[in-house]
Structure 1
C-alpha cells in the first residue's frame, strides 16, 4: 500500500507545474548553452527563434518581455535577479565570441535582448523591393503550366 502512495507522490512531483515565473531547475546553470544555434550576426532570425523556443520550454521567456524588475526588497526581487542573470548568461553563451565582444554589456535580459534585436534584425530593404518587383514581373506568357 505504501508503495502505491510513494509511486503516486513521484508521479505528482513530475507532473506538478511551477506557479512562479522564477522557477529554475537543478540542471540550470550559467554555463549552459540552451540552443545549438550560435548568433553570428546574419542569422539573427534563426537564432532568435531558437532562443525563444528554448526559453519557452524552460517557462522563462517572459523575462525577456513582460516580467519587470521589482524595486522592493522582497525575496521576489532576489528571485527575479537570479533568473535574469541566468538569462543574460544563456544569451551571451549563444553568441559567437567575436560578435559578443561588440555587444554592449547589459545586466537586464530584456534590455540585452532588445539591443541585439535592434542591431541585428535590420531587414535588407533594397533586396525586399527587388524580390517584390520580380514577383510582379513573373508572368506565364502563354506557356503551359508544366513548361512555366
Structure 2
C-alpha cells in the first residue's frame, strides 16, 4: 500500500497543471480573453455579471470573485498558484470592462476586491430605475415584431424588473417568517 501512495505522489501534477485543481490554467486561457459578448459600460450590470459568473464557473474560477477561494499564506506551496490564478481572473474582469471603468479598478489587488467594487457601484437599482423599466413595459407594443421578438422584449424587461426588485423568499422552511404578509406589503 505504501508503494502505491509513493507512486501517485511521484506522478502528482503541479496545481496549475492538474485539470481537477481550482488553480488549473488551460493553455488557451489568456489574460486578454473576451469572456462575454459585450464589455460592461455602466449599462446592464446584472446581465454582464450573470454572463461573467457563468463563464468563471465553467472555467472553475468563480471562487476567486465570490470569496470561496481564500488567499493562502505566502509560505504555502499553493500561494504562487493562487496568485497566478487571481491575476488571470483579475485581468479577465478588467479586459471585459469598458476602458473608463477598467482604469478605476486597475490597481485593486485581488479579483474579489474588483468584483466587490463593481457590485457596490453598479449592482444596485434605484426605484427610479425600476419605475423606468415598468414604464417601458407599459408602453411596449408589438408593432412589426414577430411574436418571438415581442416576447423577447417583454421577457427582457420582466427579467430586469425581477432582478432589480426580487420577491422575498421563504427562509424558515415552515412558513413562520410571514412571507405572505411581506409580499402583500410590497404590492
Residues 33 and 94 in structure 1, CA contact (< 8 A), matched pair in contact too: yes
Aligned residues: 118
TM-score normalised over the length of structure 2: 0.57
Residues 44 and 121 in structure 1, CA contact (< 8 A), matched pair in contact too: yes
Distance 1:99 1:25 in 2: 27
Distance 1:22 1:29 in 2: 14
Superposed CA deviations along residues 19-50 of structure 1, whole A, max 9, x for unmatched, are 31111101111121222221011211111011
Distance 1:46 1:120 in 2: 12
How is 1:65-76 mapped onto 2 (pairs within 5 angstroms)?
65=66, 66-76=68-78
Partner of 2:53: 52
TM-score normalised over the length of structure 1: 0.70
Residues 64 and 70 in structure 2, CA contact (< 8 A), matched pair in contact too: yes
Residues 37 and 50 in structure 1, CA contact (< 8 A), matched pair in contact too: no
Greater shift, 93-102 or 83-92, is seen at 93-102
How is 1:25-40 mapped onto 2 (pairs within 5 angstroms)?
25-40=26-41
Partner of 2:177: none
More RCO (CA 8 Å, sep 6+): 1
Structure 1 runs not aligned, ≥5 long: 1-16, 136-148
Runs of 4+ in 1 over 4 A off after TM superposition: none
Q: 1:19 to 1:104 in 2, by over 3 A?
A: closer
Compute the RMSD of aligned alpha carbons: 2.3
Residues 63 and 109 in structure 1, CA contact (< 8 A), matched pair in contact too: yes
Q: Match for 1:96 among 95, 98, 102?
A: 98
